Structure 1
């Protein structure tokens, strides 16, 4: 009997919605050939698919759509937005959406009641834009929290690049680009261990940020992702393969006993990685921000997770720039909790630089 892998369980594409010109792009033709048995449905725009986005009834099929639906289109607007936290710039995305189902993910807030992967097939245009943008920056003369030497470009703002690599070679093309670009580095966060990436040749030009949280909380919120122990076990292998590896301690979810669980997680990291990985290690610490609209969506498919994410006793409301209501931990408590967790990191992982924490 054939054993199904995690990747097999993540994606079993039976329907592909695609813009009309997708088959004319080499990458589009490659992706369509990768899923030859999938039904193909031509649409005018990847952003407006009748019956998929905006259909409240799809909430009940939240995970099924992630597994079985793929959307293909072209990226129309190319902009590298300044960032300054995790990266110097947010690269124009080569995808959005995800086959995994983390219940705190912010991407579905803008997409409605379904969030499968959308992959963009005009990769050559995106690669050309990024190379020209990096060339215009010149050398980084002032070190910052993103990197002391290179301009850092975040590749996976709206998805997970390790999962995207199951769909197309877009991510590999990006890793190859930054392997040869002087003065520029790619970066992406991931919750999925895709060991196919170990066969690539990043040459230090790509930073992989493994997202970690205590396993018991991950079981409740990180649906369809790699286990925390598997992510930690992959760190040394990715360092050996030529990647820079950092950690995302994110999101930090406050509940009874949370500090003890994080202390245990930090010990697991300290005991589970070698000295070479520790010497280059850095991290980001991000406490949970949740969203009122996403809370309502989640109640339709995973209400158990909302018991941890929606805590009116601990949180305060704040209107976002887009006009939506977000909730985050009350500021006076959160400042203390940030200090406590960063102190724990300093004690257990003394070589791990905290790049930022909020």
Structure 2
């Protein structure tokens, strides 16, 4: 597996995760990633399960809603991704890479990942890393050179590594994220990208060669309400110049934009702080994404059990409309027509307070 990338971040690992119970499919015991994660928590109870989804007493236990944070801290799932696949995207990235993990140790109240999981959302690590990365490599090889620039990247096919997890946190547990970044870094036509709300400074040592990391930002007061267990906004901003200096391409995710009375006045100081703090090198390569909040009826009900104050700003039927997802879930988003006006207002704020920051897409 090579050098251990988390030696310098052990304190961070155990601050986020005090794992007491590990649910695992037996196959992970024979996989390097599985053994590496198990070695992190030698004293945790191990419970063998048939699959990594629908685990009795965990995902289907309604009483776990009140223990939302405790489950994230004390439980971990190790499984095998049975059918790794690459999916097209076209917004933030050209493609979504096969997941190396699902779920997160952090607890953002708006996160879409737990919508299918029921009453608990701890990290699930997919330990068949070699098979997952082989799927990724084959897909990248088939693409050939990128001949037409697009909003994702002018030169390379961009693969999002962390659609269903936070790759910076996953890197505390195993080498899998580092291997994926290295694979795409060394590929002649591909590029890694992932969004994060966690500052893992070990990534500064990765020789990234312009692989893309996207720091998610929102006004600090709103983050204090919604972005629980994440790195403070001030730390994320302070890390940007360092990551650029270390060879990363650093973009920003203004995400999610949560609308409420006075939201523009909250965003302006954040944008001004970025304009003041970012180095010329960081500004020269800067780009951003803008993602307006989408929420979910089932997640709303779970949140009311463990963090009802968040729902005061997330659940706004007066300015939201129902949009049923392809899987049949009841999602809510800001109302058509109004949303377009608010997106334009946000673009105007960026132009005014962070001039020169290119918005790659807004959704």
Do they superpose with TM above 0.5? yes
Looking at structure 2, the residues matched to 293 and 195 of structure 1 have their Cα atoms a distance apart, in angstroms, of 35
Shift of 1:6: 4.8
Report the counterpart of residue 351 of structure 2 in structure 1: 346
Report the counterpart of residue 162 of structure 1 in structure 2: 168
Report the counterpart of residue 248 of structure 1 in structure 2: 253
Q: Residues 323-342 of structure 1: matches in 2 within 5 Å? A: 323-342=328-347
Report the counterpart of residue 319 of structure 1 in structure 2: 324
Report the counterpart of residue 272 of structure 1 in structure 2: 277
Shift of 1:29: 1.2
Report the counterpart of residue 181 of structure 2 in structure 1: 175
Q: Does residue 129 of structure 2 align to residue 129 of structure 1?
A: no
Report the counterpart of residue 239 of structure 1 in structure 2: 244
Conservation of the 8 A alpha-carbon contact between 1:25 and 1:121 = yes
DSSP 3-state at the match of 1:327: strand
Report the counterpart of residue 60 of structure 1 in structure 2: 66
Report the counterpart of residue 120 of structure 2 in structure 1: 114
Residues 302 and 6 of structure 1: CA distance in aligned 2, closer, same or farther (over 3 Å): farther
Looking at structure 1, the residues matched to 319 and 135 of structure 2 have their Cα atoms a distance apart, in angstroms, of 44
Shift of 1:5: 5.0
Conservation of the 8 A alpha-carbon contact between 2:103 and 2:124 = yes
Q: Residues 1-358 of structure 1: matches in 2 within 5 Å? A: 5-204=11-210, 206-358=211-363
DSSP 3-state at the match of 1:45: coil
Shift of 1:318: 1.6
Looking at structure 1, the residues matched to 25 and 171 of structure 2 have their Cα atoms a distance apart, in angstroms, of 21
Looking at structure 2, the residues matched to 279 and 77 of structure 1 have their Cα atoms a distance apart, in angstroms, of 40
DSSP 3-state at the match of 2:71: helix
DSSP 3-state at the match of 2:98: coil
Shift of 1:224: 0.5
Q: CA RMSD in A?
A: 1.1
Ranges in structure 2 where 5+ consecutive residues have no aligned partner? 1-9
Report the counterpart of residue 6 of structure 2 in structure 1: none
Looking at structure 2, the residues matched to 203 and 147 of structure 1 have their Cα atoms a distance apart, in angstroms, of 15
Looking at structure 1, the residues matched to 58 and 268 of structure 2 have their Cα atoms a distance apart, in angstroms, of 42
Ranges in structure 1 where 5+ consecutive residues have no aligned partner? none
* TM-score for both structures, normalised by structure 1: 0.97
Looking at structure 2, the residues matched to 330 and 67 of structure 1 have their Cα atoms a distance apart, in angstroms, of 36
Conservation of the 8 A alpha-carbon contact between 2:166 and 2:196 = yes
DSSP 3-state at the match of 2:168: helix
User: How many residues get paired?
Assistant: 354
